Structure 1
């Protein structure tokens, strides 16, 4: 049997080897694609796996401001599972295992469908087009679903947390090293074409299993129908458990019947690959699922879920209070009813906005040194940083689905840009002139300290000044102590004088009896004329100045 599955010479590090767990249900038992998955999750298991809470310690509130501003950004990874998140995790598991039920690699049906898809790929384009149209009218029994919701309520994040309990790639050594892909997330292209969606699928599979499908199947001159069958063949060959098509609202009409052609793509893909699909999009994508009755039925295998923003209530209050526990300001801020109302009014139950409003408010409290988040501060931050979101927030306040869909493509918040703007607004400007003046003043001080140290060691004023100029021109950042030490080494004056015994120190020396070449007489005579010991010795030719060293 020939397939279009590529030979994988080198597997990515995230590919794991299958470890099989005997299934508790008869219909799943003996299917390696199912028994290589973790156990069917209970809510208790999900409660341990779904949350993603940042590191936090009360002692961090004593850290310097510049460190605490970084700690705040940990909240971007915060995920607190609520009822809807448990529901989506259970649905994903049902869809995945149900899709594998009739794809047991040990059964004859699995090989038969692989062979059928391969033979269709070998057919003329006209025959492929006819088969493709027929398959779009025939609904397979594979369950799929749609998830539509307001931007920022956590649709994609929830799915990723639900899918994170499964490995993304599993190698089955007993099945000729077949690499199973339990889940795959493909982002719909902005141009909304079937061709680009197929190419995006190939690239995503390549990243997961280390193949080169995009290079092999992404060439020009291939019909849409042919490319669709290639996608289905790869999905079947890698036993993809569920394919998530995210950002469904990116689909746009491409000529006459463009939307219907794209929707037929999803139906045909499920029929040929038997991989369930999950369609995810904002409220702007809702009309895409209602435009075609067949696609509407396909998306309701386990329901077309609609996630609006959170309404005031027990779950939303719980989420706000949990977020509020993460405080990096020096002063503790109690969660008050006034704070709760600011969250409600300024974020309209959108979790993404709630987290980012809290991050920005803490950031401003720290950098402005007020060190406490209050309702007034949160209102001020929202007034300034959420200004561009007001059309969307007004639509959410109205509760009108048409208005919400109209403004839904406006992203909840360009956080990086907003944070940069917040930084510029709150940080005092840097006085470059004053900073440069300070650096110059510090160098002057180091030069003066070095000069004083050299003069104290007996170096003449002229030679000390020359040494200072030489050293600081070559190394402006050197310290005064280091410059003085290095200069004395070059002058040969870095050796400590020998200690004399008290008896010798008290013994009187007849200077007149010493020869004129005697160092003691030279120093004595120099002092009598007002010269330093160094000047006297230099005149005698015993020591050399720095000029001679640096020439």
Structure 2
């Protein structure tokens, strides 16, 4: 551990490697796929497979680097107060809930919000995988007679049902998949529980928590957090918006969404509040806004940082100076299209600046060009690709481009980049 580190000697933190700076993290996260030389000599059937490699293109944005800093702070801080060489750590990990005091300071939490396709999940996944190891083997460990495995992080999706029992199953299955490389029976730890005909979600969550605590899980990432809530139908959202129209301060049509099972949310918050594990919650605006509708919960899920992933705009420097100049290089035709303002406007019109859609449109336009068989990429290929390959996504893109809340509200997981637009809707005409 560096002499500059504030953490001193802590074997849990040592396995994470040195604290990264933003430049190093940017290099770790960036990925540029390779492109074959002399593309004109490559058959279209083979080019298609090279083209699909573009799906792995990753250029970390400024917000992603901020997320990396937040997650690194959260995980190291969580280990700081769980130093296994300190006797108090073990008494707190083995304590009975509501009987003995928890850690003096709750572990940190990080929240990420953004429309589908803006890169939240990809960002967290790449950041967590940038650590040297997810599983850290300790040949000797305090209070242990044999080797011990530390699990630095775990990432799962909240099941679509939002039920406690399904969340418990996902955690157990995710844990066993993560520790499979360790062997020694760890990968089968929850087999008996998962095989039971009659299961209790509450008991399963407690069992998982005991195992996670004993293996010093550093950070738990729960993606698709909106699945905890019962989303309103379009008619219900419109009724709620009509009933709150004109009421001062009411600008969130998803505030107070009913939760599927209250115990699931309470248990998730207890992971950080009582058991010292850092927490990262990510999801679309409907779920995160529902969490934030209660002040105490909103505070708890963002003690380390709250990060909003937004769509690109035509004037966004991260698009004009970073993303677009790299994207334009990946052309799989002998006669590439010219980079100009008209192309930028077309890309924005057909994708609303959503990073995932920009990549998808670029790939689809090439596939359209391949059909023409003249080895040229043209502007009209993008419109044709949008109306064919990407047709199912176009209504949502049109809604976002319009900026009209009445069109956007048709899609339960969308939210305009300008969140304040809802304030205007809530005001009387």
Once the two structures are superposed, residues 506-531 of structure 1 have per-residue CA deviations (whole angstroms, 9 ceiling, x without a partner) of xxxxxxxxxxxxxxxxxxxxxxxxxx
Distance between the aligned counterparts of 2:306 and 2:197, measured in 1?
A: 35
1:214 equivalenced with 2:179 (yes/no)? no
Which of 203, 222, 234 in structure 2 is aligned with 1:226? 203
Deviation at 1:291, TM superposition (A): 3.8
Deviation at 1:305, TM superposition (A): 2.1
Question: Partner of 1:53 in structure 2?
Answer: 32
**Aligned pairs (5 A) from 1:323-402:** 323-399=327-403
Query: Root-mean-square deviation (CA), in Å?
Result: 2.6
Question: How far 1:403 sits from its partner (Å)?
Answer: 5.5
Match of 2:304 in 1: 302
What corresponds to 1:448 in structure 2? Answer: none
Could you tell me how far apart the structure 2 residues matched to 1:26 and 1:327 are? Answer: 45
Cα distance change on mapping 1:308 and 1:403 into 2, 3 Å: farther
Check the 8 A contact 2:115/2:413 in 1, yes or no: no
Does 2:59 correspond to 1:80? yes
> Structure 1 pair 90/61, CA: closer, same or farther in 2 (3 Å)?
farther
Tell me, in whole angstroms, the C-alpha distance in 1 between the residues paired with 2:337 and 2:122: 29
Aligned counterparts of 2:26 and 2:307: Cα–Cα separation in 1: 22
Aligned to 2:253: none
1:214 deviates by 3.0
Measured in 2, the distance between the counterparts of 1:147 and 1:36 equals: 26
Distance in structure 2 (CA, Å) of the matches to 1:337 and 1:256: 45
Name the residue aligned to 1:316. Answer: 319
Deviation at 1:331, TM superposition (A): 1.3
Give the direction of change, closer, same or farther, for the CA distance of 1:259–1:91 in structure 2 (3 Å limit): same
Shift of 1:263: 1.8
CA contact (8 A) 1:99 1:143 kept: yes
Whether the 8 Å contact between 1:247 and 1:282 is mirrored in structure 2 is yes
Report the 3-state secondary structure (helix = DSSP H, G, I; strand = E; otherwise coil) of the residue aligned with 2:79: helix
Deviation, structure 1 residue 81? 1.2
Per-residue deviation, 1:370: 2.6
Q: Distance in 2 between matches of 1:45 and 1:115?
A: 38
1-side partners of 2:266 and 2:204: how far apart?
A: 14
Task: Quote the offset at 1:213 in angstroms.
Answer: 3.2
Distance 1:258 1:382 in 2: 36
Measured after TM superposition, the shift of residue 141 of structure 1 is 2.3
1:392, 1:408 within 8 Å by CA — same for their partners in 2?
Answer: no
Structure 2 spans left out of the alignment, 5+ residues: 181-186, 232-256, 415-429
Deviation at 1:311, TM superposition (A): 2.2
Q: Which one of 107, 111, 114 corresponds to residue 142 of structure 1?
A: 107
What are the ranges of 5 or more consecutive residues in structure 1 without an aligned counterpart? Answer: 1-21, 121-130, 411-551
Partner residue in 2 for 1:170 = 136
Q: Is the 8 A contact 2:311 2:353 kept in 1?
A: yes
The corresponding residue for 1:267 is 269
Q: 1:184 aligns with which of 154, 163, 169?
A: 154
The offset of 1:402, in angstroms, is 7.7
Once the 2 structures are TM-superposed, how far is the Cα of residue 26 of structure 1 from its aligned partner? 5.3
- Paired with 2:371 and 2:393, the residues of 1 have a C-alpha distance of 24
Aligned to 1:250: 227
Q: Which has the larger radius of gyration?
A: 1
Distance 1:328 1:256 in 2: 49
Whether the aligned pair in 2 keeps the contact of 1:28 and 1:35 (CA below 8 Å) is no
Cα deviation for residue 256 of structure 1 reads 8.1
The CA deviation at 1:272 is 3.6
The structural deviation recorded for 1:57 is 3.7
Contact 1:361–1:381 (Cα < 8 Å) also in 2: yes
| Equivalent-residue separation in structure 1 for 2:207 and 2:39 (angstroms) | 54
Give how far 1:212 is off. Answer: 1.9
Match of 2:173?
203
Secondary structure of residue in 2 paired with 1:111: helix
Higher helix fraction (1 or 2): 1
Q: Deviations over 1:464-490 (max 9, x none)?
A: xxxxxxxxxxxxxxxxxxxxxxxxxxx
* Greater RCO (Cα-Cα under 8 Å, separation 6 or more): 2
CA distance in 2, matches of 1:107, 1:379: 63
Listed as ranges, the matches of 1:441-460 within 5 Å are none
Q: Displacement, 1:24?
A: 3.3
- Is the aligned partner of 1:286 residue 2:285? no
C-alpha separation in 1, matches of 2:413 and 2:310? 15
- More moved, 341-350 vs 202-211: 202-211
